[in-house]
């Protein structure tokens, strides 16, 4: 449930304050069923002119600065985003070296945007992220169970420790959320199981084009 507020102009509280779940009042996202056969494009392209949006899904596997505008002014983009078949929630960063308060804040922002877009008819797919095992206390709050989720492995396979943290969090996500479909952006480690729909990351496409002389 969302509560409309007046006289407040701070962190989108003038638009909606959601009852939220968990210790930090994270807005709840409803589950979405995914049907294959659509193209995934980044928000940096979706915010401009885009043909056939009903055949595309919007992802936010980008640097945060490329989609902070959506948080600053969601009403500017909600109508455009509602034309797409699916919209993933913004992947605000939860890096392991970020202070816990910033990680939780970014998780909250991700869910606020997701819940707000759902109110306007967008078919929202939650992007799941985590940092260290301590984050499991809150990083799955507000996520739907038995629905579709999205994850990214980009930047998580550069070291043994980073890969271990990713695999551990991935398994915890599967255990807790029991997702029906997992949209996977980037290289898929062999340890990752489930009904996975693979999306090649930009880095993969660039590397392939370079190898082919493109």
- Comparing 64 with 214, the larger pLDDT belongs to 64
Q: How confident is the model at residue 213 (pLDDT cuts 50, 70, 90)?
A: very low
The predicted-structure confidence for 99-153, as pLDDT tens digits, reads as follows 999 999 999 999 999 999 999 999 999 999 999 999 999 999 999 999 999 999 9
Q: What is the pLDDT of residue 205?
A: 45
The model scores a pTM over 0.85: yes
209 exposure class (CB count in 10 Å sphere: 0-12, 13-18, 19+): exposed
Q: What is the pLDDT of residue 210?
A: 37
What's the per-residue H, E or C state across the chain? CEECCCCCCCCCCCCCEECCECCCCECCCCCCCCCCCCEEEEHHHHCCCCCCHHHEEEECCCCHHHCHHHHHCHHHCHHHHCCCCEEECCCCCCCCCCCHHHHHHHHHHHHHHHHHHHHCCCCEECECCCCCHHHHHCCCCCCCCCCEEEEECCCCCCCHHHHHHHHHHHHHHHHHHCCCEEEEECCCCCCCCCCEEEECCHHHHHHHHHHCCC
Nearest Cα to Cα of residue 192 among 156, 158, 147, 161? 156
How much is the pLDDT for 158? 84
Write the pLDDT tens digit of every residue in 31-86: 999 987 799 999 999 998 889 999 999 999 999 999 999 999 999 999 999 999 99
Residue 201 is predicted with a pLDDT of: 85
């Amino acid at each position: 449930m969302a509560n409309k507020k007046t006289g407040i102009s701070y962190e989108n509280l003038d638009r909606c304050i959601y009852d939220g779940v968990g210790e930090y009042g994270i807005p709840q996202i409803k589950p979405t069923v995914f049907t294959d056969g659509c193209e995934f494009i980044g928000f940096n392209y979706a915010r401009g002119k885009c043909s056939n949006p009903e055949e595309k899904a919007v992802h936010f596997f980008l640097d945060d600065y490329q989609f902070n505008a959506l948080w600053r002014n969601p009403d500017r983009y909600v109508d455009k985003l509602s034309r797409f078949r699916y919209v993933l929630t913004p992947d605000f960063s939860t890096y392991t070296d970020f202070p816990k308060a910033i990680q939780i804040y970014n998780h909250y922002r991700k869910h606020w945007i997701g819940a707000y877009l759902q109110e306007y008819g967008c078919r929202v797919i939650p992007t799941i992220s985590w940092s260290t095992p301590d984050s499991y206390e809150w990083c799955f709050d507000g996520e739907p169970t038995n629905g579709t989720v999205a994850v990214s492995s980009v930047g998580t396979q550069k070291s043994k420790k980073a890969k271990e943290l990713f695999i551990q969090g991935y398994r915890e996500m599967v255990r807790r959320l029991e997702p029906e479909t997992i949209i996977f952006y980037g290289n898929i480690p062999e340890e990752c199981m489930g009904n996975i729909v693979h999306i090649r990351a930009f880095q993969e496409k660039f590397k392939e084009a370079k190898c082919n002389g493109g």
